[in-house]
Structure 1
Amino acid sequence: MKRALLSLLMLSLVGLQFAKAQSKNALTFNHSAICVRDLATSNNFYKSVLELEETPNPFNDGRHSWLKIGPGLQLHIIQGTCTVTPEKNVHLCFSVPSLTTLTSRLEKQKVRYTNLKGDAQAPTVRADGVKQIYLQDPDGYWIEINDAKP
């Protein structure tokens, strides 16, 4: 019995070490970057409409802004000469606890949003029950916001 428990403990420790070694090589998402025509306008949109928090960035050149989009995750906004082809299938997505609270705030700010089909000021309800809306930033990038639970 003692030998079986000791073997089980040893196998568990080996398994933990293997899992730890595997996670060291795991690919993790760090940031997404978008190109914008006017850094101040886009920065204002992401900070006031989406309420993202600006984080320090090493460039300090007036062309870059970094915003926190989750634990250890950032959105980099870079001013430049951009070609944006707006398409809803290419979008950033954020989740909120209450889509109703968010859409009320968007309506007060006079921010236009649509459902997936393009109907104004209406959410889409996915097959899994998650509600979602779409809006565009000043450069035309699509942003989905939904009430999906983690």
Structure 2
Amino acid sequence: MAHTRMRKVVALAVVLTVGPAVAQLRPALNHIALYVYDLPKSTAFYRDVLGLRQIPEPFKDGRHVWFRMGPHSQLHLIQGAARVEDHAKDTHLAFRVKSLPKFMAHLNATTTRYRSWSGEEKQTTLRPDGVKQVYLQDPDNYWIEVNDDRF
């Protein structure tokens, strides 16, 4: 009986010490970098259309602009793309907003084109989990999903 109790204590000790160590190994998103053709145009889009807050960047070379995307993640825009490319919609950034209708009104006010997943202008898509979403493209044709997820 004492032997069984000791095994349980050892097992609990292993879980309590190894569990946090494994959690420390899990990566967390730090930033996403996008290579852009026209940095001022892309900066204006992410600041004025998406409403991201610009933050200081360390390079001070005129080729980088950084934005805060959340408490611990950033978007880095880097000037230097030779041209604007086409990108598949399946590869996209996704942001959530508190009110998708208010955000869509903002897109309308800024004359920013948006659509459903299937391409219907100014329409939302309803995901199987109940989240509504719209899709738009930035000046470099990178796809962006904006949704009302409440997670």
Compute the TM-score of the two structures, normalised by the length of structure 1: 0.89
Read off the aligned partner of 1:79 and give its amino acid letter.
Answer: Q
The alpha-carbon deviation at position 149 of structure 1 amounts to: 1.6
Equivalent residue number for residue 56 of structure 1: 56
> How many percent of aligned residue pairs carry the same amino acid?
41
The alpha-carbon deviation at position 102 of structure 1 amounts to: 0.5
Equivalent residue number for residue 44 of structure 1: 44
What SS does structure 1 have at the residue aligned with 2:135?
Answer: strand
Tell me, in whole angstroms, the C-alpha distance in 2 between the residues paired with 1:106 and 1:21. Answer: 44
Tell me, in whole angstroms, the C-alpha distance in 1 between the residues paired with 2:10 and 2:109. Answer: 61
What SS does structure 1 have at the residue aligned with 2:86?
Answer: coil
Equivalent residue number for residue 67 of structure 1: 67
What SS does structure 2 have at the residue aligned with 1:18?
Answer: helix
How many residues in Structure 1 have an aligned counterpart in Structure 2?
A: 150
What SS does structure 2 have at the residue aligned with 1:110?
Answer: coil
Equivalent residue number for residue 94 of structure 1: 95
The alpha-carbon deviation at position 86 of structure 1 amounts to: 2.1
Report Cα offsets for 1:65-117 as digits up to 9, x if no partner. 11111121111100002452222111111111111110011111111100011
Equivalent residue number for residue 30 of structure 2: 30
Read off the aligned partner of 1:32 and give its amino acid letter.
Answer: I
Report Cα offsets for 1:31-90 as digits up to 9, x if no partner. 111111111111111011111011221111000011111121111100002452222111
5+ residue gaps, structure 2, are none
Equivalent residue number for residue 18 of structure 2: 18
Read off the aligned partner of 2:64 and give its amino acid letter.
Answer: H
